Structure 1
Amino acid sequence: MTRVGAHTSIAGGVPNAVDEQLEIGGNCGQIFSHSPQVWQDPNVGDDEAAEFRDLNDEHDLGPWVIHSSYLVNLCTPKDDLREKSVDSMQKEVDAAEKLDIPYVNVHLGAHTGAGVDGGLDNAASALDELSIPAGVTVLVESDAGSGTKLGGDFEHLAEVLDRSSQDLDVCLDTAHAFAAGYDLSTPEGVAETVTEFDETVGLDHLECVHLNDSKHACGTNKDEHAHIGEGEIGEDGMRAFLNHDELLDVPLVLETPTEDGKSFAWNVERVRELRDTE
């Protein structure tokens, strides 16, 4: 069975993310534990955590992912930002344990002058400061690669996994990878990209896919998502990606727009239409 869902809201309480997921036809998903634009504690109550866990068990939903704050920058050379980033990540992995969520997703961030090698070292050592609970894994997400942001090159992901003492895995974002120069718009491009990922990072480290089409061309480093099959990756690329033999069991989380009269529900259904096994 295809595990596909979307990033849903915890407004009104974490269990509401489950209700929204069910409404759109999803069976896995992603949340922010708090507003991603500010430094804030997750502050998940015991009762709502228990209700969230019970609802997932009842409806066979999962896995879920917590997406870390947008303010987190693991690559930073600035001590104060590093300290805030590590503190924020520690609270995210603790919240994940409380909610029985297996993954916390994070971007590496920008090296802002430390250089690629220095930024990767900063990220790995920052992650090493975390006390990650058993049953929780931090996923390093691929990036579109604009400016000094790291993670656009698969090699960056592999290096952080290698340099860190933590047991880390990876979340591949299709729109980000495409924007970073990995062509996913054709069956041949998808095959080449998956092979390169396997040879560089290892498919055994791929625990989640952010499935998004792209509003911009391959290699532009522009991160703007489109509806599945309706962006620059397109229907042929998305179909090839969704039906690649090595990717059939990886959970798919949508971060597609809600515009043009097309909701998360439309995109979830589109994924199921494009996957031949459905």
Structure 2
Amino acid sequence: MHVGAHVSIAGGVDNAIERQTDVGGNCGQIFTASPQVWAGPDIDDEEAARFRDSDLGPWVIHASYLVNLATPKDDLREKSIASLQAECDAASRLGIEYVNVHLGAHTGTGVENGLDNAASAIDELDIPSEVTLLVESDAGSGTKLGDEFAHLAAVRDRSHVDIEFCLDTAHAFAAGYDLSSPEAVEETVAAFDDTVGLDELRCLHLNDSKHACGTNKDEHAHIGEGSIGDAGMHAIINHDTLQGVPFVLETPTEDGRGFAWNIDRVRELRAD
């Protein structure tokens, strides 16, 4: 089983390797820069070489939170494309397979326009051949896109780029896709397969939710201790069609527990 966490690169991107092993992970996710500012990756050749030498993986780079592919605003669109291009180039340097991004928000111009904008923005990227762009499901608040599986499929169908996908369990749950029981997991996995296709699912952000299904509230909880709960998490972790998909945790550090506790919990649920 590939399971890991989103770890810090403070002090150098290669430091993510030790941080991942320290929490018991064997794959993972990073930001290459602060996700709250328009700062691009700043990685020297030695750091990149040390990162590439690791046998952990697969790894995912998560794009900046400022990126908005669905925006109708030209300046924000240009910044978003440039930022995402820099992440794809960094992934190539680091030997990272995936770059993960949210579609963003249409800010009142309508879902269809937002989906068109996102697809055309993706088409402006020059993605290295060894890197795959993943579009992540969203919790869906305001005018954000990606809370419906149909949005993911629509962008894929409108883009000339071979994008694939990341499914976030807390986001899907917040968006109204129930995952709190084995039966609900079966229904949601089937809905994703029917609409998007499990053959294009490359990463699963494994997070419990502090809020109820359908609330559109994106706040993660420890594995098995949120509204998805042990039964839902057990069903997800042991689902036959998800066995080859890496689980990347973005769980909180609180109550004296962090990534190590949550990764151990995932392994316990897998063994049950």
| Same fold per superposition (TM over 0.5) | yes
Q: Distance in 2 between matches of 1:218 and 1:20?
A: 32
Match of 2:20 in 1: 21
Match of 1:262 in 2: 257
Q: Distance in 2 between matches of 1:276 and 1:181?
A: 28
The alpha-carbon deviation at position 132 of structure 1 amounts to 0.2
1:63 matched to 2:50? The reply is no
1:106 matched to 2:101? The reply is yes
Residue type of the partner of 2:43?
V
User: What is the aligned-residue identity percentage?
Assistant: 73
Match of 2:151 in 1: 156
Q: Distance in 2 between matches of 1:244 and 1:211?
A: 13
Give the root-mean-square deviation of aligned CA atoms: 0.7
Q: Distance in 2 between matches of 1:185 and 1:70?
A: 28
Residue type of the partner of 2:106?
H
Match of 2:240 in 1: 245
Taking structure 1 as the reference length, what is the TM-score of the superposition? 0.97
Taking structure 2 as the reference length, what is the TM-score of the superposition? 0.99
Alignment deviations for residues 157-176 of structure 1 (CA, whole Å, 9 cap, x no partner): 00011110001000000000
Q: Distance in 2 between matches of 1:90 and 1:263?
A: 32
SS for the counterpart of 1:261 is coil
Alignment deviations for residues 61-80 of structure 1 (CA, whole Å, 9 cap, x no partner): 10000000000000000000
1:138 matched to 2:133? The reply is yes
Q: Distance in 1 between matches of 2:223 and 2:24?
A: 16
Q: Distance in 2 between matches of 1:117 and 1:45?
A: 41
SS for the counterpart of 1:109 is coil
Q: Distance in 1 between matches of 2:71 and 2:188?
A: 29
Residue type of the partner of 1:26?
G
Residue type of the partner of 2:32?
S
Q: Distance in 2 between matches of 1:260 and 1:161?
A: 40
Match of 2:33 in 1: 34
Match of 1:95 in 2: 90
Match of 1:75 in 2: 70
SS for the counterpart of 1:91 is helix
1:166 matched to 2:161? The reply is yes
SS for the counterpart of 1:149 is coil
> How many residues end up aligned between the 2 structures?
272
Q: Distance in 1 between matches of 2:145 and 2:191?
A: 18
The alpha-carbon deviation at position 237 of structure 1 amounts to 0.2
Alignment deviations for residues 46-100 of structure 1 (CA, whole Å, 9 cap, x no partner): 110001111x1xxx31000000000000000000000000000000000000000
The alpha-carbon deviation at position 276 of structure 1 amounts to 3.4
Q: Distance in 1 between matches of 2:213 and 2:40?
A: 37
Q: Distance in 1 between matches of 2:258 and 2:107?
A: 36
Q: Distance in 1 between matches of 2:206 and 2:245?
A: 11
Alignment deviations for residues 238-272 of structure 1 (CA, whole Å, 9 cap, x no partner): 00011110001100000000000111000000000
Alignment deviations for residues 133-187 of structure 1 (CA, whole Å, 9 cap, x no partner): 0110000000001000000000000001111000100000000000000000000
Q: Distance in 1 between matches of 2:88 and 2:238?
A: 32
Alignment deviations for residues 168-216 of structure 1 (CA, whole Å, 9 cap, x no partner): 0000000000000000000000000000000000001100000000000
Q: Distance in 1 between matches of 2:70 and 2:109?
A: 8
Match of 1:233 in 2: 228
Residue type of the partner of 1:102?
E
Q: Distance in 1 between matches of 2:98 and 2:271?
A: 27
The alpha-carbon deviation at position 41 of structure 1 amounts to 1.4
Residue type of the partner of 2:12?
G
Match of 1:190 in 2: 185
Q: Distance in 1 between matches of 2:138 and 2:189?
A: 16
